[in-house]
Chains A and B, each alone.
Chain A
């Protein structure tokens, strides 16, 4: 609707790719350095499934050489959005911006619209991920069914076999919900003995109900490093899900609400612990650049937004003191990069440094550690086949390290690895680096006592 109004007023062309600043498209010099890093090109070896191929298609649409067709829509949703191409690109192409715009154009042109798809989009984007209370309600319901044994009963009874295969496969991947959500574990204000910094804490949406323990661990790690932590009890989705699925308007609304949740001037930093969210949260400045009310604060927001590992590294992490008599115990851990943490935010060294700082942890290298695991937001739901291939490849690399503990810093990757281990019958636990660090601090206290 908005796009239509803009078009009638003559200020902006209807086609979003045509409306895009052309120099962003032109920045791609099609050298091909992105090709070997692109998971979909790697599997298919077809140029249209590569970053430079997709950019060429976007450019063709912008130049009127091609229409926004259904095939184009499918291509844009076949892309994982892992941004490995951004790391490989010598010319600094902003692929994320291009890919978000292309998907928004696909939605505007309605080339993929089907009643079922639109219902699902409404349910996920407009309901669950726009209203945190709905999400928490669903979380409660899931927790109750899991805790009461209802889920096990349903699975055992064979009721699930009545579902179509796609839903059955999806149901098997249903994550385990935490008993307590973030606001039940974290006080709105928590202070260390001597506060050095004021930190705003983002608890996320999925993270809030599935990994509230990681949020709690993040707060403890911040406290242990002299940060006073401000955590609003009801928080909104960061909007990355909306932005990456062609709903930029909803993404902007989420951004405004999040900005309103914090007294930005009082904060030294706003902390996120989820790689995928962080990559999007840091771009609120670009998302809201034309917003007359929010543009300036969005710039401030983007300046202050930091990934937890990045922040700890910046202020100088206090390494946990090894408890007495614990030298012999060593846990071997490997680290899987969240794409949007290492490619989107270029944070790759810091989480590994943090892991190395934890007493009793030995970090070993994971082959293809920065290769996408196939989770990619909701890609594993929309493109199950490709997602499964990537998951398989990831789990084989994990198996080759022979570790029983993988660290990763993004809820999507976390779930994908847990499910991958489950499917392959691998004895592998998945933890957030910050949880392992928090454990290190807790052992410290226990050791001293």
Chain B
């Protein structure tokens, strides 16, 4: 970006919204992904969607790449400005515009923190279910652009299931509105769905219309411990087969469990093979019945121990093991790489076994926890990015995990997105013409290739 262009940008957005000093740029060169960073040429923080539009139009004229970001908590390197250019940070577009309690919708700007969306909904006795672990700081725009998941996916689905409409600035600078408040709407292609999970490569989302649901009246929490991994997996299958849909079915492997116990002293035995955290929410009569059913199933499937929380306080205590899993792991080694491979639920046990074998083969520490009800696992590499020899083994192990995932009918990313981190492996999953179809869509919408270049695939 030339000096003259900087002046134009300042004129367009106001000086305070344009950062160009090295000290300001360095902190925008990365997201939550390990070992990926690149310093942008400029960072801009527009105040309004009109400014966003003006910026996109200008960038398109000047042919300068634009990388959109929110709070920068992504786990695939999606907002790293890998080809330089402008980082477009949307955190100042942070107003919730409207909560419509009659139609159960919420209209918001993209820079609003996910937690604030939930709180705004709760004020009306409503509920916004998607709860990515970073929700205290992640922005809703980032969630939509990455189709983020969370712990409640099994019953409630993911971000996509709550996006009813959006305002998008197209790469040309044109503003379009997609979708709306209608529960049924089959007018034309479902274009909003094209932008959910598009990782900032197709347009800049400047408003989002979200669906809300009634807030569940009660919740029950259980925890089960297993001597055999297969028994935990069998419990999950049996619960689903019994037509019980818990909101949460979380899993910790024995390695993660030992780390949790070391760190948080939850009071769990450290010689078990697996832990399941189960939660059901809804009408009190239903949750009571479902909790009972899940307890019985867990016992029948061979759980060594099942703990049932009697009240909210005890539920929190029980959930603490799962909540502290990532913290417990992240402090063991300097570099923590969190993957998110996902397989059909009935392939969970083989997948966990395969990851364990891969860890052993490459002599690596890989902890596994995750959303078992969704088939979504978080194999977590504990390593040191300065140890090049070990990092080379990490690369190989990761590839082996992806190959195994695809062989089991799974996907290389369940909720983090492709970004930079998984770009090299995407083609292995998209074996037929679908890989080319991705590029066709991209070329049609962004012929100049200026929006978040170098992500998902190479053109």
Interface of A with B (CB < 8 Å)? 22-23, 26-27, 29-33, 35-36, 45-48, 50, 52-54, 56-57, 60, 65-66, 69, 71-72, 75, 90-92
Contacts and interface: CB of A to CB of B under 8 A. Distances in A.
Interface in B36-78: 45, 71-73
A27 B29 CA distance: 17
A52 B27 contact: yes
Contacts, number: 84
22 contacts: A23-B334, A27-B331, A29-B34, A29-B336, A30-B31, A32-B32, A32-B137, A33-B136, A36-B136, A56-B26, A56-B30, A60-B26, A66-B22, A66-B26, A69-B23, A71-B23, A72-B23, A90-B326, A90-B331, A91-B327, A91-B330, A91-B336
B385 interface: yes
A46 B24 contact: yes
B347 interface: no
B334 A27 contact: yes
B32 A26 contact: no
Contacts of B72: 30, 32, 47
A54 B24 CA distance: 10
B23 A75 contact: yes
Q: Is the interface of B mostly helix, strand, loop or mixed?
A: loop
B251 interface: no
A91 B259 CA distance: 13
Contacts of B138: 32
A16 to B, nearest CB: 18
A361 to B, nearest CB: 24
B139 to A, nearest CB: 10
A306 to B, nearest CB: 20
B73 A32 contact: yes
Contacts of B30: 30, 56
Contacts of A29: 32, 34, 330, 335-336
Contact of A45 (B21, B26, B31, B91): B91
B92 interface: yes
Contact of A48 (B24, B137, B327, B384): B24
Contact of A57 (B23, B31, B330): B23
Given A30-B31, A90-B330, 15 more contacts: A32-B134, A32-B138, A45-B92, A46-B24, A47-B27, A47-B72, A48-B26, A56-B30, A57-B26, A66-B23, A66-B26, A71-B23, A75-B23, A90-B327, A90-B331
B113 interface: yes
Max count, chain B CB within 10 A of own CB: residue among A35, A47, A50: A47
Contact of A22 (B24, B113, B326, B386): B386
B71 A48 contact: no
Max count, chain B CB within 10 A of own CB: residue among A30, A57, A75: A30
A71 B26 CA distance: 13
A32 B139 CA distance: 12
A200 to B, nearest CB: 29
A75 B23 CA distance: 9
Contacts of B384: 23, 26
B380 to A, nearest CB: 11
A155 to B, nearest CB: 39
Max count, chain B CB within 10 A of own CB: residue among A22, A45, A54, A72: A45
A29 B136 CA distance: 17
B127 interface: no
Contacts of A27: 331, 334
B34 A65 contact: no
B79 to A, nearest CB: 11
Contacts of A32: 31-32, 71-73, 134, 137-138
Interface string B386-429: 10000000000000000000000000000000000000000000
The 10 closest A-B pairs by CB, nearest first: A53-B27, A47-B27, A92-B331, A90-B327, A91-B330, A26-B334, A32-B73, A31-B32, A90-B330, A35-B137
A31 B336 CA distance: 11
Contacts of B92: 45
A35 B71 contact: yes
Report the interface size class on chain B: 20 to 34
Contacts of B136: 33, 36
Contacts of A35: 71, 137
B28 interface: yes
Contacts of B91: 45
B32 A57 contact: no
A449 to B, nearest CB: 42
Contact of A31 (B24, B28, B45, B73): B73
Contacts of A45: 45, 91-92
Nearest to B29: A56
Max count, chain A CB within 10 A of own CB: residue among B26, B331, B336, B384: B26
Max count, chain A CB within 10 A of own CB: residue among B22, B73, B385: B22
Contacts of A91: 327, 330-331, 336
A46 B92 CA distance: 10
A56 B330 CA distance: 18
Interface in B299-342: 326-327, 330-331, 334-336
A50 B331 CA distance: 20
Contacts of A22: 386
A47 B137 CA distance: 13
Contacts of B23: 48, 57, 66, 69, 71-72, 75
Contacts of A56: 26-27, 29-30
Contacts of B45: 45-46
A43 to B, nearest CB: 13
B38 to A, nearest CB: 12
Contacts of A30: 30-32, 72
Contacts of B326: 90
Interface in B170-195: none
A107 B266 CA distance: 44
A26 B336 contact: no
A370 to B, nearest CB: 15
Nearest to B43: A47
A12 B72 CA distance: 35
Given A23-B334, A71-B23, A31 B29 contact: no
Nearest to A75: B23
A70 to B, nearest CB: 10
Contacts of B24: 46, 48
Contacts of B137: 32-33, 35-36
Nearest to B89: A47
A99 B429 CA distance: 45
Nearest to B138: A32
Interface in B1-43: 19, 21-24, 26-32, 34
Contacts of B19: 46
B28 A33 contact: no
B134 A57 contact: no
Nearest to A66: B22
Contacts of B31: 30, 32
Contacts of A50: 27
